[in-house]
């Protein structure tokens, strides 16, 4: 039997004849750790290829906010052995003829993704290019000098928009302590060595997900993926070192190591993190971040970590049912939204080709983010989490023995 036949983890059955015919998808993991999902859609005019990594703003080194964003730029434009101009290769003959819609990338809090929309005849070339990207891409001073100003321009654009819209600014500050585009001083100081170290630590096949969705032969595509992407080794490398913190602390940061948690424990920890943040926010401006590489980080604007520890301690006491329901809702609503919007069954064939193309791109991106976030396994586990489970994981993982405490300065006026 072919190794891919019958390996689907999430076959999609459509009830409406007007919807596109989504064939049985194939899901598998390569020996190097890369997670792959291939979703063939009969009669689709294009195919979307998305490569996502469990890395984003939350994995930026302190003092270098914008590292993930700058590396996203370099991922798109960095040369590989067979493709000296990868962006030009991927945009040539693109389905919409709009380069930054046919091909683009985005940095988020806990993920970074890179996608291309291609005609079916270009799928083999696209998979080769993406496979080479997974193995590595050129990070040169020339490329950094070209892309750094673009990242800085995005930072300025976001700052100007937020300056004119105080309500949106407040909303964004409530969601994240640092802007995802980065901080100008940090981005301006980034070196090739720091970017290389970050890439080695985070842009690895065992931290990556590949989604192929649209016009493709599933078995042939799976075999091609194994041949192209299996070449990338999963390296063992230390994470990028944080720069030395300046002398005056203004943010207290407590990180908890939670490596080795089971799926059920991880779901309970995410719910615990939400409850932790709600409690901590009563103290002042504070955040609890679920870092993709197995850490839970609590941040309070102020130099005293005592309130962080006090709020953490309350997690180890029985929670009320109402508080638990609210915490579960907070951590599951985004994942459920991604789940609802991650199937091409929503697309209507024979309509506006531009709308169809954009729609397929967004669906493939949402599926990538759903997989990176743990997807169905997380939702299933989160639904079964009880107050007792939250207390148990807090006692097991969120302890003084597992914490690392440090203080860093507020990075810029925009974050005060």
Q: Would you place residue 236 in the very low, low, confident or very high pLDDT band (cuts 50, 70, 90)?
A: low
Strand order in the sheet with 251-257: 286-291, 295-301, 251-257, 403-408
Is residue 243 very low, low, confident or very high in pLDDT (cuts 50, 70, 90)? Answer: very low
pTM tops 0.75:
yes
Q: What is the pLDDT of residue 139?
A: 96
Going by pLDDT thresholds of 50, 70 and 90, the confidence category of residue 174 is confident
Indicate the range of 124-128, 212-216, 354-358 predicted with least confidence: 354-358
pLDDT of residue 72: 97
> What is the CB neighbour count within 10 angstroms for residue 298?
26
Backbone angles phi, psi at 24, to 5 degrees: -65, 125
Distances (CA, A) of 175 to 8, 65, 270, 304: 36, 16, 16, 22
Beta bridge partners of 407: 252
So what's the pLDDT on residue 293? 82
Grade residue 394 by pLDDT with cuts at 50, 70 and 90: very high
Question: Would you state the pLDDT for residue 105?
Answer: 96
What CA–CA distance (Å, rounded) separates 139 from 321? 51
Q: Which CATH number fits domain 21-242: 3.40.228.10, 3.60.20.10, 3.30.830.10, 3.40.50.720?
A: 3.30.830.10
Assign 413 to helix, strand or coil: helix
| Residue 342 CB contacts under 8 Å (≥ 6 apart), including other chains | 363, 366, 367, 370
- Write the DSSP symbol of residue 54: S
């Amino acid at each position: 039997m072919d190794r891919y036949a019958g390996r689907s983890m999430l076959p999609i059955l459509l009830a409406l004849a007007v919807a596109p015919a989504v064939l049985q998808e194939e899901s598998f993991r390569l020996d190097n750790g890369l997670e792959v999902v291939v979703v063939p859609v009969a009669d689709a005019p294009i195919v979307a290829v998305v490569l996502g990594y469990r890395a984003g703003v939350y994995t930026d080194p302190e003092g270098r906010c914008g590292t993930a964003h700058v590396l996203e730029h370099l991922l798109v434009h960095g040369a590989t052995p067979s493709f000296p101009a990868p962006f030009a290769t991927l945009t040539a003959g693109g389905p919409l003829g709009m380069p930054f819609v046919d091909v683009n990338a985005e940095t988020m809090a806990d993920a970074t993704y890179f996608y291309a929309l291609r005609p079916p005849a270009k799928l083999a070339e696209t998979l080769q290019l993406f496979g080479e990207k997974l193995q590595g891409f050129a990070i040169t001073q020339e490329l950094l000098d070209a892309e750094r100003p673009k990242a800085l321009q995005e930072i300025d654009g976001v700052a100007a928009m937020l300056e004119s819209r105080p309500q949106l600014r407040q909303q964004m500050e409530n969601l994240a302590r640092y802007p995802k585009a980065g901080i100008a001083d940090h981005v301006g100081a980034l070196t090739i060595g720091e970017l290389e170290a970050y890439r080695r630590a985070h842009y690895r096949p065992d931290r990556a997900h590949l989604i192929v969705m649209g016009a493709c032969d599933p078995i042939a595509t799976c075999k091609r993926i194994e041949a192209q992407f299996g070449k990338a080794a999963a390296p063992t490398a230390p994470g990028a070192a944080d720069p030395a913190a300046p002398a005056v602390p203004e943010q207290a940061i407590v990180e908890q190591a939670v490596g080795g948690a089971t799926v059920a424990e991880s779901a309970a920890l995410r719910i615990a993190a939400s409850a932790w943040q709600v409690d901590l926010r009563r103290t002042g401006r504070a955040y609890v971040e679920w870092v993709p590489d197995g850490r839970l980080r609590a941040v309070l604007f102020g130099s005293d970590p005592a309130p962080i520890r006090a709020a953490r301690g309350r997690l180890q006491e029985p929670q009320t049912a109402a508080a638990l329901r609210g915490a579960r809702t907070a951590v599951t609503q985004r994942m459920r939204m991604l789940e609802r919007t991650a199937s091409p069954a929503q697309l209507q064939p024979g309509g506006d080709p531009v709308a169809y193309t954009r729609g397929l791109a967004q669906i493939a991106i949402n599926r990538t983010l759903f997989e990176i976030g743990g997807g169905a396994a997380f939702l299933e586990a989160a639904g079964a989490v009880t107050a007792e489970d939250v207390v148990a994981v807090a006692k097991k993982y969120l302890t003084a023995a597992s914490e690392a405490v440090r203080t860093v300065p507020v990075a810029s006026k925009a974050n005060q």
